[in-house]
Amino acid sequence: MYKKYIYSVALVALFFICVVEGDRIFVAPKLPQASKSMVTEKKYVSPYVTISAFDDHFREAADSIGWDWKLLAAIGFTESRFDSTALSQVGASGVMQVMPRTLQQFGVPDSLCFEPRRNIMAATGLLKSLDHIFRRIDNVDERSNFVLASYNAGIGHISDAMRLADKYGRNRYKWENSVDTFLILKSEPQYYTDSLCKNGQFKDWKQTIQFIKKVKRRWHKYKKLQEAYDDSIRNIMLNDSTVEIRCK
């Protein structure tokens, strides 16, 4: 008599099991997820050594004229020690100590003369034009002496010194012991009254000559810092496969 109920009881029991344990029985088991500690995260580093807060602007400007950005940074340090609020007694302003006439020439209004990017780009525009003027000087390092001298003293005084050098049998396209000598002599009446001199006396020759030397020394220091930085990054990457160079 109990046999006729056995199938019914079995069906009820099976239904109960399906309702209570169905998810565990019929759903595919979840695979264990990797813990966060198992996920390898890439660590990205910059390809550039850090020199100042304006490095991105220096690189952008340098790319526009094909210069080493560290040379622009060296000029910025020498001019203002990276002080974007600097203002000289003669009116030169900002990181690169740009004169008002140059800022106007490159479309920078007075209200933005201290804005770092605008200031650096205006200075770079001037450097580009000077580089073009001295394009006959094939040696790039030699040409940079004339560009830097003109940036500091003005193209007029450097042109006078070049003409005097030529008159007295010196190489007008050589800076040391040639054009720099006559830039110094332009402080003396015998030379600045010469008809070849179109821009009169020049008393600040010492500042100009020192400016070139300071910029070149600073540039050399920055290049050494970049080389040391490159070496350190290479060593890190050799020992840590998760480190990658950030795209430039």
DSSP 199: S
Active site residue 60: no
- Residues 97-144 have pLDDT tens digits of 999 999 999 999 999 999 999 999 999 999 999 999 999 999 999 999
How much is the pTM?
A: 0.82
Residue pair 246/42 in contact (Cβ under 8 Å)? The answer is no
> For residue 152, is it within any domain?
no
Identify residue 41 by its one-letter amino acid code: E
Q: 3-state DSSP: the chain helix, strand, coil percent, rounded to 5?
A: 60, 5, 35
CA distance 29 to 18: 16
Please determine, for residue 6, whether its predicted confidence score (pLDDT) is greater than 70.
no
- Segment 87-106 shows an average pLDDT of 97
Residue 63 in tokens: 């790319």
Whole-number pLDDT of residue 34: 53
Please determine, for residue 234, whether its predicted confidence score (pLDDT) is greater than 80.
yes
Helix (H) or strand (E) holding 24: helix 3-26
Whole-number pLDDT of residue 241: 82
Q: At what angle do helices 205-239 and 69-80 cross, to 10 degrees?
A: 130
Q: Mean pLDDT lowest for which of 5-14, 58-67, 127-136, 206-215? A: 5-14
Whole-number pLDDT of residue 240: 81
Whole-number pLDDT of residue 36: 53
Whole-number pLDDT of residue 245: 85
Helix (H) or strand (E) holding 246: none
CA distance 80 to 214: 13
Pick the catalytic residue: 79, 115, 142, 176?
79
- Segment 194-206 shows an average pLDDT of 97
Domain extent at residue 211: 55-133+204-234
Dmax (CA) for the chain in angstroms is 141
Confidence of residue 156 (pLDDT cuts 50, 70, 90): very high
> For residue 199, is it within any domain?
no
Q: How many domains does the chain have?
A: 1
> For residue 125, is it within any domain?
yes
Question: Under DSSP, is residue 93 helix (H, G, I), strand (E, B) or coil?
Answer: strand
> For residue 109, is it within any domain?
yes
Across the chain, mean pLDDT equals 89
Question: CB within 8 A of 177, min separation 6: which ones?
Answer: none
> For residue 171, is it within any domain?
no
Q: At what angle do helices 69-80 and 140-153 cross, to 10 degrees?
A: 30
Q: At what angle do helices 140-153 and 155-167 cross, to 10 degrees?
A: 120
> For residue 176, is it within any domain?
no
What CATH number is attached to the domain comprising 226?
1.10.530.10
Question: CB within 8 A of 167, min separation 6: which ones?
Answer: 194, 196
CA distance 96 to 126: 11
> For residue 86, is it within any domain?
yes
What residues pair up with 45 in beta bridges, in sequence order? 245
> For residue 165, is it within any domain?
no
